[in-house]
Amino acid sequence: MIGPSASPGNAARGQLLQWAAVLLFFALVPLGRRSFFITMANEVLIMGLFAMAFNLLYGVTGMLSFGQAAYYGAGGYTVGLLLTKGVLPYSVALPLAPVVGAALALLLGPLCIRLSGVYFTMLTLAFAELVWGVVFKWYGFTGGDNGIQGIPVPAWFHHQLHYYYFTLAIVVAAVAVLRRIVESPFGAVLQSIRENPERTAFLGIRVRRYQLAAMVISGAFSGLAGGLFAGFHRSIGPDMLHWTKSGEVILMSILGGVSSFFGPLVGAGVILFIEDMIGKYTEFWEIWIGGIMLAIVVFFPRGVIGTLYEWTHRKRSRERDGNATAHP
């Protein structure tokens, strides 16, 4: 995605190593046979997918949206409502989650992309809060502030490992599609819009159409993450759609590095792990987490992965300069 320049061969090897490291890590998690690690890894996969879907808007297209939770919650409620009311089986309900997320983004997107910058951000926040308010108050359909409990899933998913590997397979496939989108000519246009939308429009590219497409794609993957969450926890609530959930995923992306493809996934892992570990030992865990986040932002200004890329690039540059000096 975005990062230090490299030769095609080195870039291909780097991407292959990234994929291998991520797959190996999540594939080996269950070997510990500890429920905590499997549960944590499942949470990281779901929230990581959500964060990567958001980063398609922010890191790639340059659009800061506080409305991602609306699509995430829409996907979760789609699965929850269809299963609890016995309308459709899980095999059909889950694929509908990204469809509903994309449809909601397609409905709200044309209104949001009329503005840019902070005005776009505030408009996405306003629409997300509107959706949250409807879900929070519609007791007869969504359960209101009680949400939906006891979502029925297939018996095969009652085994923790089964649902974990199912989630892993879905997330890997989704991430592969996202990667393909980012590296396609379409993704190159989105990055051009991020750098300079006026210049991109001057080239004859319909910027708003591409921005809307990015919102719809991001909404679809956010909805898929919400659907996986509903099946994993077997319960959903209106907090899924609250703006704080959008803020959480924004923090994950920035912490991991919006300039790297897997940065949001790493950020999700760091935040969820810190929250769980510190929350066990103190009731003031928010203060500790805030301090840790501040330190990470100060010492890793481009995010964890982005800063590591930068350090590696500088080291290689010094080595090349040294070799050039030694062998003029």
Q: All domains of the chain, ordered by start, with CATH?
A: 29-303 (1.10.3470)
- Closest to 174 in 3D by CA, of 226, 210, 213, 209: 226
Tell the burial category of 314 from Cβ atoms under 10 Å away from its Cβ (0-12, 13-18, 19+).
Answer: exposed
Helix/strand number for the chain, H first, E second: 14, 2
pLDDT confidence of residue 13: 61
3-state secondary structure 205-242: CCHHHHHHHHHHHHHHHHHHHHHHHHHHHCEECHHHHC
Residue 224: is its pLDDT beyond 70?
yes
- Mean pLDDT within 57-68: 92
177-203: pLDDT as tens digits = 999 999 999 999 999 999 999 999 998
What does residue 206 show for φ and ψ, rounded to 5 degrees?
Answer: -80, 95
Among 23-27, 48-52, 121-125, 180-184, the range scoring the smallest mean pLDDT is 23-27
Tell me the whole-structure pTM to 2 decimals: 0.86
Q: Is the pLDDT of residue 116 over 70?
A: yes
Range with top average pLDDT, 33-37, 231-235, 296-300, 320-324: 231-235
Between 144 and 214, the higher pLDDT residue = 214
If you average pLDDT over residues 158-167, what whole number do you get? 88
Q: Is 199 exposed, middle or buried (0-12, 13-18, 19+ CB in 10 A)?
A: exposed
- Mean pLDDT (the chain) is 85
Residue 149, helix vs strand vs coil: strand
Alpha-carbon distance of 195 to 263, in angstroms, equals: 20
